[in-house]
Amino acid sequence: MSIQDRDNFPRKRDKEKARPTEQKSAASHAAQWPWKAVIRDIFCWTVLALTLLIVFQYFQSFQSSNQPHVQPAGNSLVTMTGSTGCGVLPQHGSAYLIDPSVMKRTDVLYAGLEIHNDHDHPMVAVLSDPAGVQQLLALSIHASNALQLSVPVGKYAMQVLVGSDWCNLKNGFTDGAIVSVAGGISVDAGSTTSLQFSGSGLRPVQLALAYSQSQPASVQEVQQPAAVIGSGKMELKQTRDGHYFSSGTVNGAPVVFMVDTGATVVSISAEIAARAGIRECAPRQVLTANGQVNACVATVPEVTFGSFRLTQVDVMVMPNMPGDALLGMNVLRNFRIEQAGKVMRISTP
């Protein structure tokens, strides 16, 4: 061994002694690191979750503060807002369908109901069952306006809420009155029931009612089918949602009709109208469950459903209509309609 080797030997020995210590320290550090990483990840995710929750709550409160009222879909008269539980009176023609099982029945005839508000304040008309226990439908009619709609035939109890500061269906107007129509109203098949409310003031409220029945203008305007070709009967089974459907055609274009005794006239979607080759259509405003819509009426040479064929039939083309088509009363009134259990029978008289 040379002198140089003897000089390097102590250094080499010291390095070899230090290496296990360094390896042990690194191993110990590596063993501790996963726990630190887990704790750090938990902390980061907790902070992120809290941040997202705060942002979400802020966004919700911002939306609430910028909306005049909150309403469930289709229930535009039960508006409530703020700590008082009161809201903004919905626009004229808004409807609140309280009991769809009664007001959207498909096993009964429908007839027209027309309400004129000639009072100097807005009103909300509420239809209930004959005993006045269960509310069924509420309608917003602004001053100097009228509203027309189709409802199941029968007798109804009726209340009229009059005022200017709307709260909700339970409390009515905070500055107005609730007036009951003595004896209720009757909606009869084949006619339009017209109610004309007039008066002025709130304290006390002066409200008079003129009640009459007449042939509905919609029936007089809608052209009846020129001929019904076919005989016999067809049976339709009720679906789970309580409706009845039949295959058919409009000018040869295949459709699936939903039988709707509440529809005055056959109604089809814009897509079906295009397939049926309908080019000319007279504009018409129609009141639906979602408010007034701009539709149009056309006369088509042929409509079929089941084994029946009808000629020269008026159809209503509805924008944004869900489904293909509704088989309305301008066709159904030519047939005998019976319902037994969950089966509807349609036959020629």
Closest CA to 243 of 260, 262, 268: 260
282: tokens are: 């007279």
3-state secondary structure of 338: strand
Architecture of domain 95-216 in this structure: Sandwich (2.60)
Of 31-35, 254-258, 287-291, which one has max mean pLDDT? 254-258
| Domain range 222-347, CATH class | mainly beta
The pLDDT, as a whole number, for residue 198 is 92
The pLDDT, as a whole number, for residue 108 is 65
C-alpha to C-alpha distance for 205 and 163, rounded to whole angstroms: 9
C-alpha to C-alpha distance for 71 and 79, rounded to whole angstroms: 5
Q: What is the pLDDT of the chain when averaged over all its residues?
A: 77
Give the DSSP H or E segment for 316.
strand 308-318
Token pair 């029936």 in the structure block, residue = 219
Pairing state of beta strands 166-168 and 172-173? antiparallel
Give Rg (Cα) of the chain.
35
Average pLDDT over residues 171-198: 87
- Taking phi over 0 as left and psi of -120 to 50 as alpha, with beta for the rest, 318 belongs to beta
Asked if residue 123 has pLDDT above 80, the reply is yes
pTM: 0.46
Asked if residue 327 has pLDDT above 70, the reply is yes
In the chain, where are the structural domains located? 1-66, 95-216, 222-347
Which residues on adjacent β-strands are paired with residue 235? 345
Token pair 């602004």 in the structure block, residue = 142
**Burial class, 306, CB count within 10 angstroms (exposed 0-12 / middle 13-18 / buried 19+):** middle
Q: What is the DSSP letter of 106?
A: S
Handedness of CA 132, 135, 141, 142 (dihedral sign): positive
Same fold, 95-216 and 222-347: no
Asked if residue 83 has pLDDT above 70, the reply is no
CB burial readout 320-344, b (16+ within 10 A) else e: ebeebbbbbbbbbebbebeeeeeeb
The pLDDT, as a whole number, for residue 305 is 92
